[in-house]
Amino acid sequence: MQSPAFRVVRALLLLLIGIFFLFPIVWVLLMSFMTNVDILRSPPSPFFVPTLRNYVALISGHLSTSSGEVQIDYMHNLLNSVILSTCSVIVSLILGVPAAYAFARFKFRGGEDMAFTLLSFRFAPPLLVLLPLLGYFQAIGLYDTYFGLIWVYQLITLPLVLWITRGYFEDVSEDLELAYRLDGHSWLSTFFRISIPLARPGIAAAGLLSFIFAWNNFIFALILGSSSVQPVTVGALAFITASGIEYGQIAAALVLSVIPTLILAIFTQRYLVEGLSLGAIKG
């Protein structure tokens, strides 16, 4: 039995830890409702008259700065991020999940080397491959296209999907699959009806992580595309100009850019839990 004093101290400590970790997020949220003058006030104050002008500016595309009216295209950047990240993850799942299953289930010549090669994409710093890639992309017409960026994003998302889901497939008992196949089901049917549902938590985690990594990518989109295909990571920098930093708009842009990832995380969480409970009976 825990004493009341212990429970109070524990609650206080948890509260402090919560405040410590949540403070930056809360402060960004508050900043998104402040004017630049409020944000730059010294010392900073949590008391201010809230304004929606930062969100209005982002959504309408008209930004009032100290040097006049500026057109911004942040919502287009947001749409680009959604397109690039979603498509990249879908392509990676389509390619990576069967590949991960094959690497987990079958031993074949050069298999480990191939898997390691795919993983090694994560080792190489993007800057190392960017200039040759830029040359190729311009030569074959992929520069400044969604297709080209989704292709190059596979360097980020495919290894993650492959290596995370491979581990989950290795944990799925082969006996379960064999039992199902002995009932007369095909190999493909076994893969879709037994292996994938059992590996669902891994697939969900890999999909979510890949999405976050793709969403946060900056350098590929910067160099391999122009403003028409660029995501929020590049677009958000437009609020840093020679005439000043629009902190309010940056905060509002940050809040808006978190929403899709947050929705996906909440959505995926359900599958993670479901997958884990399924996993409880597999052994």
Partner 1 sequence: MSDKISDLFGAFLAGRVGRRELLARASQLGLGAAAATTFLNRTQSQALAASSYDWKAQSGQSIKLLMNKHPYTDALLKNIDAFKSLTGINVTYDVFPEDVYFDKVTAALSSRSSSYDLFMSGAYQTWQYGPAGWLVDLNKFIHDTSETSGDYDWDGILPNLRSATAWSGKPGDALGGPGAKQWALPWAWELNSIAYNKRILDAAHMEPPKNLPDLIEMAAKISKDVPGVYGIGARGSRSWATIHAGYLSAYTNYGAKDFDTSGGKLVPTMNSKQAKDFTRLWVEMLQKGGPKNWTTYTWYEVANDLGGGTSAMVYDADSAAFFQEKGTKEAGNIHYHAFTPNPDAHQPTPNVWIWSLAMSAFSKHQQAAWKLMQWATSTQQLTLGATKADLIDPTRQVVWDNQDFKTRMNGYPGYLEQFAASSPGAKIYFTPQPLFFNVTTSWAAALQKIYSKQVSVDDGLDQLAHDITAQLENAGITD
Provide the binding-site residues for partner 1, judged by CB under 8 A.
36-37, 40-43, 64-68, 70, 130-131, 134-135, 138, 143-144, 222-223, 226-227, 234, 237-245
Give the residue with the Cβ less far from partner 1, 64 or 117: 64
CA distance 157 to 135: 22
Q: How far is the CB of 193 from partner 1 (least distance, A)?
A: 48
To the nearest whole angstrom, how small is the minimum distance from the Cβ of residue 241 to partner 1? Answer: 5
Q: Write out the DSSP string of 220-259.
A: HHHHH--TTT--HHHHGGGGEETTEE-HHHHHHHHHHHHH
CA–CA distances in Å: residue 159 to residues 75, 126, 218 = 30, 14, 18
d(CA 92, CA 160): 9
Q: Phi and psi of 43, rounded to 5°? A: -75, 155
Shortest Å distance, C-beta 240 to partner 1: 5
Dihedrals phi, psi of 68, to nearest 5 degrees:
110, -170
CB within 8 Å of 225: residues ≥ 6 apart: 143, 144, 145, 148, 149
Taking the complex as a whole, the smallest distance from the CB of residue 147 to partner 1 amounts, in Å, to 17
At which residue do the structure tokens 């809230």 appear?
Answer: 50
CB of 174 to partner 1, least distance (A): 49
Enumerate long-range contacts of 103-111, CB under 8 Å, 24 or more apart: 103/162, 103/166, 104/166, 104/167, 104/169, 104/170, 105/169, 105/174
* Greatest alpha-carbon span in the chain: 74
Nearest to 28 by CA among 49, 59, 54: 54
Nearer to partner 1, 28 or 265 (CB): 28
Nearer to partner 1, 149 or 158 (CB): 149
Q: Which is nearer to partner 1, 135 or 167 (CB)?
A: 135
In whole angstroms, how close is the CB of 268 to partner 1 at the nearest point?
A: 31
The smaller minimum CB distance to partner 1, of residues 172 and 238, is found at 238
Nearer to partner 1, 17 or 245 (CB): 245
- The least distance separating partner 1 from the CB of residue 59, rounded to whole angstroms, comes to 20
Sign of CA dihedral 214, 160, 88, 263: negative
Q: Which is nearer to partner 1, 60 or 138 (CB)?
A: 138
